[in-house]
Amino acid sequence: MKKLRVLLVGAAFSADLHSDGYSRIPDLVEIAGICDKDTGRIKELAERYGFTGYRAYDDFNTAIEDCDCDLVDICMPNFLHHEVAIKALNAGRDIICEKPLATTVEDAEDMVATAERLGKQIYYAEDWLFAPAFRKAKAILESGQLGRPLYIRARECHSGSHSPFAQSIRYCGGGCMVHLGVHPVGFMLALKDNRWSELTAMTSGGGETNLVHQKMEGEDWAGVFIRFADGTYATLEANYVTVGGMEDVLDIYCEQGCIHVDLSFSGPVKVFSIPGLDYTVEKAEITTGWSTPAVDEKYSLGYCDEILHFVECALAGKEAQVGLRGKDGLETLRVIDRIYRSAREGIRIRNDRMEG
């Protein structure tokens, strides 16, 4: 059986998440190359996941030109997504791109247009759509047993990004909404087939107006009220002011029932430790006292099944499911752009792109 040959561009945080997924399907994937300007990170990543036979590169232009691969997996800071994607697409490769698709709507539009012109695929890495708990909630909702959904609330929050690139709008594209809120926004758009009708938003504004992170250019709190074409309402939130670990929460209120999902703190293992543990969940500042250590965090957050889906699609030469295509990443970025405009101008924004 033919294996998909993958070039990983980047060997840090996102590459670790994706590599865990690749390492679980060695019968389908071969890591043909790994690129990072810090070659020490390449070796550490490969040893961590048992990758062998790959070529190491310290420049993505050289890597894309030289590496014999089928797909380029872009695990770079946000501001480099567009440049690497265009290079890879023009070289005839499909791509996986981490969220957000780009730092500007214009760059994202260029990526999608280039892929369509060349007949290549953009696989947009929105892991929420493969988190087992969220998939179960979605299946229950779609069964119709709870009746019509009326109101949905979703949020991703933690105490602040570890990345220096997240401190600058130029490098990140915004603050917590584009960095964290991209998940609930993308999830809801996928759930509603991108058919939203209007939104109203607020943010902390960035810089000195932020609640906690005054040195961050982008906002450290953001929320949006959004109505979809089928009449469902939603509140979507992101912030960098939540201590105690990352919160991924989904609440769905229906005519005849409701669903509540806590992705990060509802595991089956409870531990009490006086000296503390090495690790419990992402972004937890302390691990002493009672905690809920993640059992298989990358799987629970959706990364493993997301990578499997992309690999199977790439091998079959087909696009990903709704919510995971390049055009879905573009629509997510368009909505976030309108969230920022709504907050900045204090206005309600209607979707003038929605059909009929």
User: Residue 60 sits in a domain of what CATH number?
Assistant: 3.40.50.720
Q: How many domains does the chain have?
A: 2
The residue ranges of DSSP E strands in 177-328, in sequence order, are 196-203, 221-228, 233-239, 247-254, 257-262, 271-273, 289-291
Percent with pLDDT over 90 in the chain: 96
Rounded to an integer, what distance in angstroms lies between the CA atom of residue 347 and that of residue 340? 10
Does the structure show a pLDDT above 90 at 353?
no
Regarding whether 169 and 85 lie in a shared domain, the answer is no
Rounded to an integer, what distance in angstroms lies between the CA atom of residue 201 and that of residue 224? 4
Regarding whether 18 and 106 lie in a shared domain, the answer is yes
Regarding whether 255 and 133 lie in a shared domain, the answer is yes
Regarding whether 140 and 119 lie in a shared domain, the answer is no
The per-residue pLDDT for range 193-208, each reduced to its tens digit, is 999 999 999 999 999 9
Query: Strand 149-157 to strand 257-262: parallel, antiparallel, or no bridges (unpaired)?
Result: unpaired
Regarding whether 139 and 28 lie in a shared domain, the answer is no
In a domain, 356, yes or no: no
In a domain, 355, yes or no: no
Domain region containing 79: 4-126+312-318
Regarding whether 113 and 204 lie in a shared domain, the answer is no
In a domain, 307, yes or no: no
Rounded to an integer, what distance in angstroms lies between the CA atom of residue 151 and that of residue 293? 31
Q: Do 192 and 158 meet the contact criterion of CB atoms below 8 Å apart?
A: no
Regarding whether 225 and 292 lie in a shared domain, the answer is yes
pLDDT band at 356 (very low <50, low <70, confident <90, very high): very low
Percent with pLDDT over 70 in the chain: 99
In a domain, 217, yes or no: yes
Regarding whether 254 and 109 lie in a shared domain, the answer is no
The per-residue pLDDT for range 123-179, each reduced to its tens digit, is 999 999 999 999 999 999 999 999 999 999 999 999 998 788 999 999 999 999 999
Regarding whether 163 and 133 lie in a shared domain, the answer is yes
In a domain, 325, yes or no: no
Give the DSSP H or E segment for 326. Answer: helix 326-345
Specify the CATH number for the domain of residue 255. Answer: 3.30.360.10
The per-residue pLDDT for range 32-63, each reduced to its tens digit, is 999 999 999 999 999 999 999 999 999 999 99
- Structural tokens at position 221: 């709190």
Regarding whether 271 and 182 lie in a shared domain, the answer is yes
In a domain, 56, yes or no: yes
In a domain, 180, yes or no: yes
In a domain, 324, yes or no: no
Rounded to an integer, what distance in angstroms lies between the CA atom of residue 185 and that of residue 249? 13
Regarding whether 151 and 19 lie in a shared domain, the answer is no
Does the structure show a pLDDT above 70 at 246?
yes
Regarding whether 202 and 94 lie in a shared domain, the answer is no
The residues with which 221 forms a beta bridge, in sequence order, are: 239
| Mean pLDDT, all residues of the chain | 97
pLDDT at 354: 76
